[in-house]
Each structure stands twice: as C-alpha cells, then as structure tokens.
C-alpha cells in the first residue's frame, strides 16, 4: 500500500518528469552532435579514375574532397598505361561522404617475371600445356639428334639458351629444342 501511495505522490511524479526531461535533452543533444559530425545526407559521387596517373588522381580527388590509398599493383594489363589506375573501390558513381578514402589498384610497369620450371627430359605433350598455363607462349620448335623422340633437350628465348630456375617476363616466347629420336644416346653429335 505504501508503494502505491509513493508512486502516485507529487514527489515521485515530479522526479519522474525531471528524469524524462534530462533523458530527452541528452538524446536530442547526442543526435544533433552525430548529425553535424557525420555529415548526414552529404553525398559525393565517386569519379571514374581508370587509366589516370597518380598525379591526376590526386588532383581530381582533392577537388572532390576525397583521399586515396594505393593498395596493390595488379597483373600487368597492356590496355592500360603504366602506373595508371586499373581498379578502384568504391566503384565510380557510388555516393560517399567527404574525406572518404578511395582504394586504388595500379597497373605495374610490365609483366611479372615467372620462373621457368624444370622440364628438360619431359615430352612435348607435357611441356607445352605446362608453359602455357604459367603464362609463357610457345615459339619455334626445332629438332636435334637425340635418342628421346619429342623430349625437351633445351629451351631458348630470343636466341639464347635458358635453363630451369631463370625468370622471364610473363608472355615471353620460349622456343623448344626437342629430340628427334634418330641417334643413340651414347654417340657423339
């Protein structure tokens, strides 16, 4: 009975109204502060930065009030200028807020260098798909006298002999030197 009397007393109702007023003022102040600091309803459309150099990108993004971060270099793409933007995140046309970072992926200066695998002694049928799958191109195929028919006995690039472990740019043309199966293994060339 005392509890009900207290809940309906003037003192309790007065304190409850003060508490609700304080909570309302705190919530209103917090929402107003968030609205002003988060730039609510501000939208900047991200420009298309593809094929632009970093100098041009920097000027372009400064004009929009945006920043950039280079996150990586991609695989070389001959359709894009060297050190130009290949990809960006967020994508062009998306809306962002002021001072947002745009993450960029750049086109490197050339193809990555790939190590030549150990393929001497393997057959032409094994070697051609292996070299193509890692990014090389097959050039001229020549035959030399050797016991093993269609076995790789040497590799050449631009007329020079290359060996396993050497590194060549991706898409390099590798010429194969194969055995013709006509000579005995122990005989002299």
Domains for the chain: give ranges and CATH numbers.
44-106 (3.30.10.20), 113-179 (3.30.10.20)
Does the pTM surpass 0.85? The reply is no
Across 24-43, average pLDDT: 85
pLDDT digits (tens, 9 = 90+) for 58-99: 999 999 889 999 987 777 888 889 889 999 999 999 988 888
Q: Which of 102-116, 160-174, 175-189 has the lowest mean pLDDT?
A: 175-189
Task: Share the mean pLDDT of the chain.
Answer: 88
Residue with tokens 């086109």: 107
What pLDDT score does 138 carry? 94
């Amino acid at each position: 009975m005392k509890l009900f009397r207290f809940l309906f007393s003037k003192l309790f109702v007065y304190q409850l109204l003060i508490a609700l007023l304080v909570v309302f003022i705190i919530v209103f102040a917090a929402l107003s502060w968030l609205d002003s600091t988060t730039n609510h309803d501000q939208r900047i459309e991200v420009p298309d930065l593809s094929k632009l150099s970093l100098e041009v990108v920097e000027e372009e993004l400064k004009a929009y009030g945006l920043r950039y971060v280079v996150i990586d270099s991609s695989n070389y793409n001959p359709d894009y200028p060297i050190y130009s933007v290949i990809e960006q995140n967020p994508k062009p046309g998306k809306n962002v807020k002021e001072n947002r970072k745009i993450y960029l992926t750049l086109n490197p200066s050339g193809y990555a260098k790939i190590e030549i695998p150990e393929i001497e002694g393997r057959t032409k049928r094994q070697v051609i798909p292996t070299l193509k799958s890692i990014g090389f191109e097959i050039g001229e195929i020549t035959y030399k006298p050797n016991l093993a028919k269609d076995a790789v006995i040497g590799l050449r690039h631009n007329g020079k002999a290359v060996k396993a472990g050497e590194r060549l740019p991706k898409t390099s043309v590798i010429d194969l030197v194969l055995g013709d199966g006509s000579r005995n293994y122990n005989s002299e060339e």
